[in-house]
Amino acid sequence: MEVQRSVTATPRLSASWRRSEDYGIPLDAVNPAFSGGVDSAVDGSLFYECGQEILGGLRDTLSGEPVSMMLTDADGLVLSRVCDESALVSALDKTYLAPGFAFSEREAGTNGLGLALADRAPSLVRGEEHYCTGLWGYTCAAAPVMDPVFGRLLGSVNLTTWSEKSAGLLLALAQTAAGHTSTLMLARGRGAQARPTPKGEVFRVFTAQRDTASPPALGEAWESALAETVAALRSGRTVGVIGEAGVGKTALLAAALRRVHRDHRILNARPPDPRDADSWLALWTPELAKDRTSVIAGGVDALPLWAASELATIVGAARGASLAVTASEAAGIPHPLSRLLDTVVSLPPLRQRPDDVLPLAEYFGEVVRGRAVRFTPAAARALRTFAWPGNAEQLRRVVREAVTRGDVIDVHHLAPEVLCGSSRTLTRIETLERDEIARALAEPGITVTQAAKNLGMSRATIYRKITQYGIRPE
């Protein structure tokens, strides 16, 4: 069935229409999947709680306006809907834009919330810009909600009104609501630190001689993942490495590429802010056209779907260059790129590789210091027994701070966080108190009683705090 549209399509919109066609979405019927209701785990989540509160405030602001406000999860499932106009509610029910129904692009074709989730960017879809004619009567503005600490896509805020109504501030309101949801989550996250925003870096070029220190010999888990990656690259296969943030996925790929393509330049392209994806992509064509070039596209699970599609097209047309990717999990790799992968290698987190901690610490210390550094037995024990939730990147930061104090690192040189094992997130005041106690206990030759006296605490209080914060006195 051919549908005539009287709109001029933007590149993002055209890409979304093509994806909708590939997904087999019917042009004349809206038929999204019904999940049977909102999961209790989602209902009780911090994202849901904060999103509902923000939408409640927005409802008061838009009182009397024909606007439906919705909160969705990362898969496009509508979690909640707030609307005071009965005619709009009735019309939305007929198109199944209601709680319990999934409205991702795969389910309903091009629509506001589906496009916002696919491209991880604020999106406005008006009338005939929708893929399905059943949605032509609406204007939908949506903005993604990102985890303020880990940067994961959590869902979206979607505002829907009649298509003949002015879109005006609709998109701005959706963006504001999404931003306020993230901010409220951070405020209620008990001392959590906001994730750093992208700083515009696109390429970091390094060669086999980029560091003065020799890479360390690591344990079985690392060597096994490295051997699997090397074997795949030597066979001409395209490789993806998955694992937690900071675990060393890019380092693994770089080490494997140096073994297989010794004369290649190795470029590491970090994911851009979705708003900068155009300029980010503009750098790919000339780089991939160069001979003896290997490119590592990091964090592709954070790429807008349209950018992932463009990248896949560029890679398919390139000759003489190779592409490898990293992501947190295989399911998060955008489909256009996952189709290019022949092998996916999983790299375990550092807490499952305790034998790698000290060699990595010594390596990081030598790179920063320019000469060998040594860790005392007590410091080495503290490093090995810490859980390292931030993996190798956290270890690098801790070591970088410690080695500024000398070539021999003892416990009192380490960041207080390494000496603690609290399983809960602390408030800022609790964090300051924990760090002061940990520093006092880490002083050479000090006893718990002396530390309590120096801090102005009773002996009973400091023991209680040691237990409360999971501090491990050396």
| CA distance linking residue 226 with residue 248, whole number of Å | 11
* 472 φ/ψ sector (left φ>0, alpha ψ -120 to 50, else beta): beta
DSSP string, 302-335: GS-HHHHHHHHHHHHH--SEEEEEEES-GGGS-H
Residue 289 DSSP code: T
Domain with CATH 3.30.450.40 in the chain: 11-187
Taking each helix axis from N to C end, the angle separating 448-455 and 459-469, rounded to the nearest 10 degrees, works out to: 100
Domain with CATH 1.10.8.60 in the chain: 352-469
| CA distance linking residue 32 with residue 106, whole number of Å | 9
Spans of the chain below 50 pLDDT: 199-212, 423
Give the pLDDT of residue 191.
54
The secondary element (H helix, E strand) that includes residue 68 is strand 68-73
For residue 401, give the nearest of 419, 388, 416, 382 by alpha carbon.
416
Residue 70 DSSP code: E
**7 CB-near residues (< 8 Å, 6+ apart):** 126, 127, 128, 129
Strand partners, 138: 162
Give the pLDDT of residue 200.
46
CATH entry, 352-469, from 3.30.1330.10, 1.10.8.60, 3.40.50.920, 3.90.550.10:
1.10.8.60
Give the pLDDT of residue 213.
53
**61 CB-near residues (< 8 Å, 6+ apart):** none
Q: What is the dihedral of CA 429, 434, 439, 442, to 10 degrees?
A: 180
Q: Which two tokens stand for residue 326?
A: 């990293």
- CATH number for the region 11-187 comes to 3.30.450.40
Tell me if 278 sits within 8 A of 248, measured CB to CB.
no
Give the pLDDT of residue 264.
81
Domain with CATH 3.40.50.300 in the chain: 203-348
pLDDT digits (tens, 9 = 90+) for 235-286: 999 999 999 989 999 999 999 998 998 888 888 888 887 777 887 787 767 7
**CA 66, 70, 75 angle in degrees (round to 5)?**
145
- CATH number for the region 203-348 comes to 3.40.50.300
| CA distance linking residue 405 with residue 393, whole number of Å | 20
pLDDT digits (tens, 9 = 90+) for 207-240: 444 444 557 889 999 999 999 999 999 999 999 9
For residue 420, give the nearest of 469, 352, 350, 358 by alpha carbon.
469
Tell me if 110 sits within 8 A of 117, measured CB to CB.
no
Tell me if 242 sits within 8 A of 346, measured CB to CB.
yes
